[in-house]
Amino acid sequence: MLTADAGPEKRYAQWLAVRRGSVRAVVGTRAAMFAPVQDLGLVALWDDGDDSHSEQHAPQPHAREVLLLRAAQDKCGFLLGSWACTVEAAQLVESGWARPLVAGREQVRAAAPLVRTVGDVDLARDEAARAARLPTLAWQAVRDGLRQGPVLVQVPRRGYVPRMACADCRAPARCRHCSGPLETRDGGALCCGWCGREESGWHCPECGGFRLRASVVGARRTAEELGRAFPAVPVRTSGREHVLDTVPGAPALVVSTPGAEPVAEGGYAAALLLDGWAMLGRPDLRAGEDALRRWIAAGALVRPQSAGGTVVVVAEPTLRPVQALVRWDPVGHAVRELAERAELGFPPVSRMAAVSGPAEAVADFLRTAELPPEAEVLGPVPLPVTAAGRPRRAGRRRPGNSGSGRWCGCRRGGGGAGRLTEGRAGGADGPGEWERWRGRSLGADRSG
């Protein structure tokens, strides 16, 4: 068992045992992908869409890509398992590199819970939802579920009220010093989530309003509200600070952040997936895929529909990830997502890189870089200057620069599964902005 919790001495001893051939099977976290197993016969990975499988330090290896290379080099079996399906896994099947091992639709229907949705139209008609956290449908699902066993409540973010916004125009409330998001911790004073400064005289720079509202309510605040709504029911929380492994099968409310859901004895009677817009609205290529993966992982802990299991997701029902959850069809969602990315040339169909800096430096880079013949250069184009006091985003230059910076993107077509990573690019004023590029795995290439 190779994990970071074992400590350096124990890990080194285990590593030597594997290297000498004393150990025939290795199970572990991300670092186990490099375990020097002798006469390798099979590599397996569970839930390749989990962020923990991607190393954040250079050269940013992903466990799926490393195991694909090892399977090709050692000519061994490769097994990828998950409740959901990533676009990279769908590409492996479409290219013929891998074969699907999926249950039939009848088996899926028999094992999956009933999924119900609450969209914007339902919330507009729901008088109770305007003043309370839970829509009427969700409240009824909790009440009915507690008669049969524990109920899981998934909240996208931890904390009390992680994000605040203007009550009038809904503009995000940001710090005047660093433009970081303002939040309240444990219901206390308003402070910046980045620099930690307290904010006592905030006003909205967009409309001049002084009233604040919670744009995203955290797990602890949700647990308090549910405790007041159901005073006779115990409430348990599971998150980064304290992760529960299991909970008993007695009636209880379990509030959890994505990925920290404990397993209930006999399964949950119901599950609520709150604030779906917060997961779907992220400015990320994988926002829909990640939201569906986290929803299905939580729904898999619920009892089947035949046993009364119900899942209520608070998200617009017309969106593709929500429809895939209702049908319990993550493979179909991944296949359609792959087809759209292929039309646009997005990963994993192609790999992309972005470079930013002064105009002269970008021009020199383009002259000296030896790009493949099939590479497509996008740009260079001027970078917009961020106004003082406004939040900086990926690809934007720091305030104060004269606008001489340029941005250049490079895209190369071809097969292979990819992932989205981040790194720093140097600029005229020092460390530079966060830039994004997309790396390529060799999953669709049999030669590795």
The superfamily CATH assigns to domain 107-159+219-335 is: P-loop containing nucleotide triphosphate hydrolases (3.40.50.300)
Looking at the chain, the domain(s) classified CATH 3.40.50.300 span 4-83, 107-159+219-335
Query: pLDDT tens-digit profile of 179-196?
Result: 888 887 655 678 887 888
pLDDT top residue among 376 and 92:
92
For domain 4-83, give its CATH number from 3.40.50.180, 3.40.1350.10, 3.40.50.300, 3.40.640.10: 3.40.50.300
| Cα separation, 148 vs 121, whole angstroms | 30
Residues 6+ away with beta carbon under 8 Å from 47: 53, 81, 82, 83, 84, 293, 297
pLDDT at position 298 is 96
If pLDDT is split at 50, 70 and 90, which confidence band does 416 have? very low
- 353 vs 366: CA distance, rounded Å: 13
Please write down the long-range contacts of 16-25, taking CB distance under 8 Å and 24 or more positions apart. Answer: none
pLDDT category, 206, cuts 50, 70, 90?
A: confident
Contacts within 8 Å (CB) and 24+ apart, 91-94? 91/338, 91/348, 91/349, 91/415, 91/416, 91/417, 91/443, 91/444, 92/417, 92/443, 92/444, 94/335, 94/338
Kindly state the helix (H) or strand (E) to which residue 128 belongs, with its residue range. Answer: helix 127-131
Cα separation, 225 vs 219, in Å, equals 10
Q: What spatial distance separates the first Cα and last Cα of the chain, rounded to whole Å?
A: 27
pLDDT of residue 233: 92
Question: How does residue 201 score in pLDDT terms, banded at 50, 70 and 90?
Answer: confident
pTM of the full structure = 0.74
Q: What angle do CA 36, 37, 39 make, to 5 degrees?
A: 125
**Residues 6 or more apart whose Cβ sits within 8 Å of residue 133:** 217, 222, 225, 226, 274
pLDDT digits (tens, 9 = 90+) for 341-357: 999 888 898 887 888 88
